[in-house]
Structure 1
Amino acid sequence: MMGAGKSSVGRRLAARLGLPFVDADTEIEAAAGCSIPEIFALHGEEHFRDGERKVIARLLDGGPQVLATGGGAWMNETTRENVARVGVSIWLNADLDVLLRRVRRRDDRPLLSGDDIEAKLRHLVDLRYPTYSMADVTVHSRDVPHDVVVDEILIALDDCLPRDEADPGASGRSGGLSTERTST
């Protein structure tokens, strides 16, 4: 969800794991040659979502990485299946009041343009959170230092990634993420 901290936390998570960080929105803008608000204005949300799905599918074939997807990407069943095929999905679950405080800092969110941002955001939360709950890992994003959230993600990844069969005591992060992708 927009404002959950995907980019900020994702960058820090990637650094801790020694993996590249990739922001799907940045890649979508590069592929389209214009900003996401411009894509929405010129072509509409359906066109944007189709391009988003294609770009994310390409990125998932790019090797180990921490991939931050846009808030609507996880709503696409094909994208969820592609992430499940090659990686671990992480939902940064944030309360509405936290999201609202964060999204009000920026004016480049097409789905929140116009009046009554709170009602629009509440609608998106109600619509998307049940689908977001299908992620492999859920971590609560809140007003704490980003590194606290990263630490919680790393603990959750240790719990969900397979252990090295040759060494049952090995950390899941040391072997698991070298061949897995993480989507935040």
Structure 2
Amino acid sequence: MRCNIALLGFMGCGKTSVGRRVAQRIGWEFHDTDAVIEKRVGLPIPEIFSRYGEEYFRALETEVLAELATRRHLVLATGGGLPVKERNREILKEHFFTVFLRVSFPLLFERIRRSTNRPLLKKYRTPEELEALYWARIPYYESAHVIIDADFLTEEEVAEEIIRRARDCGVL
């Protein structure tokens, strides 16, 4: 029985803010893989990328995910690239009820283009490059147990839908 909830989706889709709301409403712990990594390394994500590279960061993501998977009753906001790695998908499938927060690329781009805390924005400099990354990741996100179209929903409405779907699936 899956006793945890993991939120999947592209950067800027609302995984952290919605995840906090869900955890608060159901009385579970909340964790964000990026925040756990930052605390562990003692550096912000952009600096981890620039000092050690993306491969190092992705290895830490897998390590953190495996550790968090041993817990029960937690809501997890995953990094946008986390489900691309096969081992991470295996851990998610075994230990988490997964929810893809689907947001259209134009809306995501509006949310993230002013951000200074997104290391992949240095690698993917044009909207076209970023959109190609978005579409490359969509198949991984779509393997989630549940897909929520979040373009026209408030964070509270998305949280309510996650809770409803988790109840329907016997997670809560």
How many residue pairs align between the two structures?
Answer: 163
Does residue 37 in structure 1 map to residue 34 in structure 2? Answer: no
Q: Using the alignment, how far apart are the partners of 1:47 and 1:149 within structure 2?
A: 32
Counterpart of 2:167 in structure 1: which amino acid? D
Gaps of 5+ in 2: 1-9
Counterpart of 2:53 in structure 1: which amino acid? G
Q: Using the alignment, how far apart are the partners of 1:68 and 1:11 within structure 2?
A: 9
Gaps of 5+ in 1: 162-175, 178-184
After superposition, the C-alpha distances for 1:141-164 in whole angstroms (9 at most, x for unaligned) are 224321111122122223323xxx
Shift >2 Å, 4+ stretches: 114-117, 158-161
Larger Rg: 1
Name the structure 2 match of 1:149.
158
Does residue 97 in structure 1 map to residue 125 in structure 2? Answer: no
Structure of higher RCO (CA pairs closer than 8 Å, 6+ residues apart): 2
Q: How does 1:73-92 map to 2 (within 5 A)?
A: 73-92=82-101
CA RMSD, Structure 1 to Structure 2 (Å): 1.5
Q: How does 1:1-184 map to 2 (within 5 A)?
A: 1-113=10-122, 116-161=125-170, 176-177=171-172
After superposition, the C-alpha distances for 1:121-177 in whole angstroms (9 at most, x for unaligned) are 20111110011100111111224321111122122223323xxxxxxxxxxxxxx33
Q: Using the alignment, how far apart are the partners of 2:22 and 2:127 within structure 1?
A: 29
Residue 38 of structure 1, CA deviation: 0.8
TM-score normalised by L of structure 1: 0.83
